Amino acid sequence: MKVQQLMTRNPIVLTVEDTLYKAVKIFVKNCIDGAPIVDQKGNLVGIITKTNLMKTFLRNVDPHIKIGTLATKTVITIRQDANIKEAWEIKVGRLPVVDEKGCLIGILTRTDIIKALLEKQIEESSELKAVLDFTNNGIVIIDEQGIIKRCNLSAIRILSLNNEEIIGFHVEKILPELQLYHVIETRKSEYNQKIEFKEKTLICDRISLSRDSKVFGALIVFKDSSELESIINELNDVQDISKKLDAVIESSYDGIYITDGHANTLKINKSYERITGVKREEMLGKNMLNLENEGYISESATLKVLSSKKTTTIHQKFKTGKNALVTSTPIFDEKNQITLVVTNVRDITQLSLLKEQLEKNKELAQKYYSEIEEMRMQLLSTLHIIAEDEKMLEVARMAKRVAKVDTTILILGETGVGKEEFAKFIHKNSNRKRKQFIKVNCGAIPTTLIESELFGYEKGAFTGANRQGKMGLFEVANGGTLFLDEIGELPLNMQVKLLRVLQENEIKRVGGVESIKVDVRILAATNRNLEKMVKENQFREDLYYRLHVVPICIPSLRERRGDILPLVRHFLSELNIKYGWNKRFSKDALEILYEYDWPGNVRELKNIVERVFIMSNEQEIICEDLPKIIYAKNTSSKFIEEIIPLKEAVASVERELLERAFEKYKNVRGAAKALGIDPSTFVRKRQKYEKKL
């Protein structure tokens, strides 16, 4: 038995900063007589007991003294995987338990150990009694004086006795026929002896019990010979049935494979060898999981049956190349546990060749269907556009207005403002909403693959191409919407082909000669200045004007501050629902979030809300929980917004300048030089403010 099985997990602990008074309150409240002491990092540094506390009070020590100065510094610990015997030999009333890293994980007391050992002794005694009572052999045990100490139920039945009539009596007076006391006298055990007892012939073993060469008792184990004869007859019948069953299994034209309830191979007939080409010697006694891993079979119906507890039929391929239709059937016992799995194997090699060709055709069709369906489902079932700021509301109204017509739309805005969400919003409010919404990130596809991804390719178009060819995303999105994100990353040669699609509504696959008509609405988005790229010959002017039919510019978050707090509430609500918590932002924290410029826009805001939600310890998220870069940029203006003492305002500015300088120069000397002070002054002032925090 291991320590971890008995220890008290997550014990009550005290810290080095706790006072003597607090320790006494904790001891009284929780009725404990000792507790480990940990430092600020949770490392075990000592232990204090009720005796320590009483001795301390007798010395009239200040009750507000920190217990870190009073604790026993030398701490004896034990590993969680140690044996209980090791713990008992340490002889410590309260023994801290640590893991492999030395971290405290529990407490083990002497009482815990004594209780466990007592329970184990009682359990072993009960198990011994159960074994004796339920064994089919009769057992009688005597001590060194010949007094009968125990007699099991089978002995009572075979000898036709009453248990109360023999326990405590001398064996020679009650059961002289057994000659058991003779073993005490001779100190020799005797085996396979026949005894005549009340017209019964008993086959018995008389065994001497000794310890350290000293005999302390004897026992006799016996069985009625008539019962043995009955068992032998039954065994002969079973063997006869088994031989007939073996003959039936061997004569079956179909292969038969039998395993136990753990998938270990028990029996294989010769037809199985003929069909599979595998010798039974290679598989008998082996587990189906190992045979599957070694490649004897492609997959195991037996393993599927053990998992599902249902009859299973599969197409199985063997390492010889032969194919078979395999049906595995479970056999249950009275407890509904699988004891056997019988597998029937039928050769379908020729049939499987035809089926394989059919399956390939079906698989190809299913592949195309799955690709189209997966792309169509990229549009989220629920769409959240949080807009309360008037600028954002005007953009949303404009997007909804142009959604009903099929004109090309160019969505502009900084990274993270929600361009993709607006593209989905336009699609969902368009006449194409029941069709596919396909998103393509033009900057994420390798240049060599862009054309084949967008326009598809014919079979044999290039080395490594699918033998059946492939539909491009324009064909997949036919009837729906194609969202070209990061359009500014599209190579110039692809810009020409995209312009042709926009003008003529047709594409041509790679390696193809025929044009394919497509009906696709194009939505494009970028965070780059396309007009500047046109002047620098990085973007085609004709494509720019073709895309720039209806531009929608999504303002940055700092330009629509009216959306900041609604977005914060929305993201916080989602997190509270997801984790079942009820956290909230303090008023001061919300003010800081409102004032921050959010260079990463909505994406940055969402990430920050999730971070502080997870990292904050209390229900209310306060200013100090916010990231340093956000909190620092707002604390410096605090004295402007409200009247505070001049000394406090100066200290606030000084603290911020110290932190900003160190953050910029990454060393004390550079930061001090920038502020015009000595490095020693810089260190002293910074340490002063750190202590206040």
- Tens of pLDDT, residue by residue over 185-226, are 888 888 888 888 887 888 888 888 888 778 889 998 988 877
Query: In this structure, are residues 142 and 171 in contact, taking their beta carbons and an 8 Å threshold?
Result: yes
Give pLDDT, residue 607: 93
Residue of higher predicted confidence among 615 and 277: 615
**Type of residue numbered 140:** V
Handedness of CA 246, 248, 250, 252 (dihedral sign): negative
Which of 602, 378, 412, 403 is CA-nearest to residue 524? 412
Set out the domains of the chain in order of their start, with CATH numbers: 3-116 (3.10.580.10), 135-229 (3.30.450.20), 252-347 (3.30.450.20), 390-555 (3.40.50.300), 558-627 (1.10.8.60), 636-693 (1.10.10)
Cα atoms in the 13 Å half-sphere on the side-chain side of 11: 30
Query: In this structure, are residues 109 and 94 in contact, taking their beta carbons and an 8 Å threshold?
Result: yes
Q: Quick check: helix, strand or coil at residue 556?
A: coil
Which of 476, 503, 459 is CA-nearest to residue 373? 476
Give me 117's structure tokens. Answer: 């050992």
Does position 39 have pLDDT exceeding 60, yes or no? Answer: yes
**Chain mean pLDDT for the chain:** 83
- pLDDT confidence tier of residue 117, bands split at 50, 70 and 90: confident
Q: Quick check: helix, strand or coil at residue 449?
A: coil
CA 348 – CA 342 distance, rounded (Å): 19
Give pLDDT, residue 521: 94
Element housing 370 (H / E): helix 349-376
Does position 381 have pLDDT exceeding 60, yes or no? Answer: no
- pLDDT confidence tier of residue 377, bands split at 50, 70 and 90: very low
What average pLDDT does range 533-538 have in this prediction?
92
Query: In this structure, are residues 555 and 417 in contact, taking their beta carbons and an 8 Å threshold?
Result: yes
Asked which of 18-27, 150-159, 433-442, 462-471 is least confident by mean pLDDT, the reply is 462-471
Give pLDDT, residue 376: 44
Give pLDDT, residue 159: 83
Cα atoms in the 13 Å half-sphere on the side-chain side of 47: 21
- pLDDT confidence tier of residue 63, bands split at 50, 70 and 90: confident
**DSSP helix, strand, coil percent of the chain (3-state; round to 5):** 45, 20, 30
pLDDT tens-place string over residues 591-639 = 889 888 898 899 999 999 999 999 998 999 998 888 887 876 555 444 4
Does position 478 have pLDDT exceeding 70, yes or no? Answer: yes
Does position 640 have pLDDT exceeding 90, yes or no? Answer: no
Give pLDDT, residue 620: 93
What average pLDDT does range 670-692 have in this prediction?
80
Does position 384 have pLDDT exceeding 70, yes or no? Answer: no
Asked which of 148-152, 230-234, 457-461, 652-656 is least confident by mean pLDDT, the reply is 230-234
CA 483 – CA 426 distance, rounded (Å): 11
CA 527 – CA 543 distance, rounded (Å): 17
Give the pairing of strands 521-526 and 516-517. unpaired
Element housing 329 (H / E): strand 323-332
Give me 165's structure tokens. Answer: 């009539």
Element housing 525 (H / E): strand 521-526
Query: In this structure, are residues 454 and 472 in contact, taking their beta carbons and an 8 Å threshold?
Result: yes
Sequence-ordered list of residues with C-beta below 8 angstroms from that of 625, at least 6 positions apart, any chain: 589, 612, 615, 616
CA 277 – CA 105 distance, rounded (Å): 58
Q: Quick check: helix, strand or coil at residue 488?
A: helix
Give pLDDT, residue 574: 92
Element housing 105 (H / E): strand 104-109
CA 96 – CA 11 distance, rounded (Å): 9
CA 498 – CA 502 distance, rounded (Å): 6
Does position 375 have pLDDT exceeding 50, yes or no? Answer: no
- pLDDT confidence tier of residue 167, bands split at 50, 70 and 90: confident
- pLDDT confidence tier of residue 446, bands split at 50, 70 and 90: confident
Does position 554 have pLDDT exceeding 90, yes or no? Answer: yes
C-alpha distances in angstroms, 331 versus 254, 272, 273, 512? 19, 20, 23, 59
CA 476 – CA 457 distance, rounded (Å): 13
DSSP for 609-653 reads HHHHHHH--SSEE-GGGS-HHHHHHHHTTHHHHS---HHHHHHHH
Give pLDDT, residue 250: 86
Return the top range by mean pLDDT from 97-106, 325-334, 352-361. Answer: 325-334
Query: In this structure, are residues 392 and 559 in contact, taking their beta carbons and an 8 Å threshold?
Result: no
What average pLDDT does range 497-510 have in this prediction?
90
Residue of higher predicted confidence among 612 and 96: 612
pLDDT tens-place string over residues 390-410 = 898 899 999 999 999 989 999
Handedness of CA 399, 403, 404, 408 (dihedral sign): positive
What average pLDDT does range 268-287 have in this prediction?
85
Q: What is the pTM of this model?
A: 0.42
Residue of higher predicted confidence among 652 and 186: 186
- pLDDT confidence tier of residue 343, bands split at 50, 70 and 90: very high
Q: Quick check: helix, strand or coil at residue 234?
A: helix
What Rg do the C-alpha atoms of the chain give, in angstroms?
A: 42
What percent of the chain is predicted at pLDDT more than 70?
A: 88
Instruction: Compute how many other C-beta atoms are within 10 angstroms of the C-beta atom of residue 55.
Output: 12
Which of 267, 239, 271 is CA-nearest to residue 255? 271
Sequence-ordered list of residues with C-beta below 8 angstroms from that of 505, at least 6 positions apart, any chain: 517, 518, 519, 520
What average pLDDT does range 632-650 have in this prediction?
60
Give pLDDT, residue 573: 94
